[in-house]
Chains A and B, each alone.
Chain A
Amino acid sequence: MGSENDDRLNRARACFSARGQVPFQFQEETWAAYWAGQSGLLNAATGTGKTMAAWLGPVLDTEEDKGPPGIRVVWVTPLRALARDLERALIEPLQSLGSAWRVEQRTGDTSSAKRARQKTRPPHALITTPESLSLLLTQSGAAQAFSNVQALIVDEWHEFLGTKRGVQMELVAARLRAVNPRLRIWGLSATLPDLGGAMRVLLGPSMKGRLIRAPLSKRYEIDSLLPESIERFPWAGHLGLKMLPQVLERLDRAGTTLVFTNTRSQAELWYQAIITARLDWLTSTAIHHGSIDAKIRRRVEEGLKAGNLRCVVCTSSLDLGVDFPPVEQVLQIGSPKGVARLLQRAGRSGHKPGEVSRATIVPTLALELLECVAARHAIMQMNLEPRTGMTLALDVLAQHLVTLAIGGGFEATEALAEVRSTHAFERISDVQWAWVLDFITRGGSALQGYPQFRRVSLVDSRFVVHAADLIRRHRQNVGTITSNVSIALKWMKGGTLGQVEESFIGRLRPNDVFIFGGRALKLVRVRDCIAYVRVAATSTRFVPRWQGTRLPLSASLGSELLEALSRYAKGAAIDPEFGVLRPLLDLQTQWSVMPTPERLLVEVLENREGFHLFAFPFQGRFINEGIGSLMALRAARDHPRTFCITTNEYGFELLCEERFEISETHLRRWLSPTDLLADLLASVNVSDLARRQFRDIARIAGLVDSGTPRQSKTARQLQTSSGLMFDVLERYDAGNLLLEQSRREVLEGQLDHRALSESLTRIAAQVLCIARPGRYTPLAFPLWAERLQTQTLSTETWQKRVEREAKKLERLAR
Chain B
Amino acid sequence: MTETTVSLLIHGETLILHPERALIWPDRRTVIVADTHFGKTSHFGRHGIAVPKGADDADRQRLTQLVTSLQARRLIVLGDFLHAPLPGGTVEAHDLQMWVEELATFLDIHVVAGNHDLHATKLPPIHWWQSEYVDSPFCFIHDATCARPIGGELFTVSGHIHPVVRLRSLGKSTLRVPIFWQKPTGLILPSFGFFTGGFAIKALRGDRIFGVGSSGIVPF
Contact = CB atoms under 8 A, between A and B. Distances in A.
A728 B195 CA distance: 7
A720 interface: yes
B91 A451 contact: yes
Given A447-B52, A688-B173, A452 B116 contact: no
Contacts of B196: 724
A727 B55 CA distance: 10
A721 B47 contact: no
Interface in A376-409: none
Contacts of B45: 443, 447, 450, 452-454
Nearest to B85: A717
B48 A732 contact: no
Interface string B103-125: 00000000000001000000000
Contacts of B50: 439, 443-444, 446-447, 453, 455, 703
Interface residues of A, number: 35
Nearest to B168: A790
A641 to B, nearest CB: 14
State the main secondary structure of chain B at its contact with A.
Answer: loop
Nearest to B118: A713
B42 interface: yes
B205 interface: no
Nearest to A684: B171
A720 B53 contact: no
Contact of A724 (B46, B52, B90, B197): B197
Contacts of A467: 48
B92 interface: yes
B53 A718 contact: no
Interface residues of B, number: 30
Contact of B46 (A454, A473, A702, A727): A454
Interface in A689-705: 702-704
Contacts of B195: 720, 724, 728
Contacts, number: 88
Nearest to A738: B50
A644 interface: yes
Interface in B141-157: none
B42 A452 contact: yes
Contacts of B43: 717-718
A800 interface: no
Interface in A417-473: 439, 443-444, 446-447, 450-455, 467, 469-470, 473
Contacts of A732: 52-55, 58
A455 B173 CA distance: 35
Q: Which of B44, B84, B91 has the most CB of A within 10 A?
A: B44
B48 A455 contact: yes
B54 A731 contact: yes
Given A644-B170, A733-B54, A450 B48 contact: no
B72 to A, nearest CB: 26
B194 interface: yes
Contacts of A469: 47
Interface in A720-750: 720-721, 723-725, 727-729, 731-733
B9 interface: no
A454 B195 CA distance: 20
A645 interface: yes
Contacts of B52: 444, 446-447, 728-729, 732-733
Contacts of B170: 644
A407 B26 CA distance: 60
Interface in B75-93: 83-84, 90-92
Nearest to B51: A728
Interface in A669-683: none
A795 interface: no
A725 B170 CA distance: 24
Q: Which of B52, B53, B83 has the most CB of A within 10 A?
A: B52
A446 B90 contact: no
Interface string B166-178: 0000110100100
A718 B44 contact: yes
B55 A718 contact: no
Contacts of A729: 51-52
A685 interface: yes
Nearest to B45: A453
A728 B196 CA distance: 10
A804 B45 CA distance: 59
B170 to A, nearest CB: 7
B46 A703 contact: no
A454 B173 CA distance: 36
B1 interface: no
A452 B91 contact: yes
Contact of B83 (A443, A444, A717, A725): A717
A470 to B, nearest CB: 5
A728 B46 contact: no
A717 B116 contact: yes
Contacts of B116: 717
Contacts of A453: 45-46, 48, 50
Given A720-B195, A720-B197, A733-B54, A685 B49 contact: no
Contacts of A703: 49-51
A446 B173 contact: no
Interface in B34-75: 41-55, 58
Q: Which of A444, A473, A717, A729 has the most CB of B within 10 A?
A: A717
B46 A731 contact: no
Contacts of B91: 450-452
A469 B43 CA distance: 14
Interface in B13-44: 41-44
Interface in A620-666: 644-645
Contacts of A702: 48-49
Contacts of A454: 45-46, 48
A446 B47 contact: no
A452 B173 contact: no
Nearest to B119: A713
Contacts of B53: 446-447, 450, 732
Q: Which of B42, B51, B92 has the most CB of A within 10 A?
A: B51
Contacts of B176: 723
A164 to B, nearest CB: 20
Contacts of B90: 451-452
Interface string B192-209: 001111000000000000
A718 B50 CA distance: 11
Contact of B49 (A450, A644, A718): A718
Nearest to A467: B48
A685 B173 contact: yes
Nearest to B43: A717
Contact of B194 (A444, A644, A718, A728): A728
A444 B84 CA distance: 23
A733 B55 CA distance: 10
Contacts of B44: 718, 720
A723 B164 CA distance: 14
Nearest to B171: A645
A725 B51 contact: yes
A454 B47 CA distance: 7
Contact of B47 (A444, A470, A704, A733): A470
A625 to B, nearest CB: 9
Q: Which of B47, B50, B55, B171 has the most CB of A within 10 A?
A: B50
- Nearest 9 A/B pairs, CB to CB: A443-B50, A446-B52, A732-B54, A455-B48, A732-B52, A733-B52, A453-B45, A470-B48, A688-B173
24 contacts: A443-B51, A447-B52, A452-B91, A454-B46, A454-B48, A455-B50, A467-B48, A470-B47, A473-B47, A473-B48, A644-B170, A688-B173, A718-B49, A720-B195, A721-B197, A723-B176, A728-B51, A728-B55, A729-B51, A731-B54, A731-B194, A732-B54, A732-B58, A733-B52
Interface of B: 41-55, 58, 83-84, 90-92, 116, 170-171, 173, 176, 194-197
Given A447-B52, A645-B171, A702-B48, 11 more contacts: A446-B54, A451-B90, A451-B91, A452-B45, A452-B46, A454-B45, A473-B47, A703-B51, A720-B195, A723-B176, A728-B55
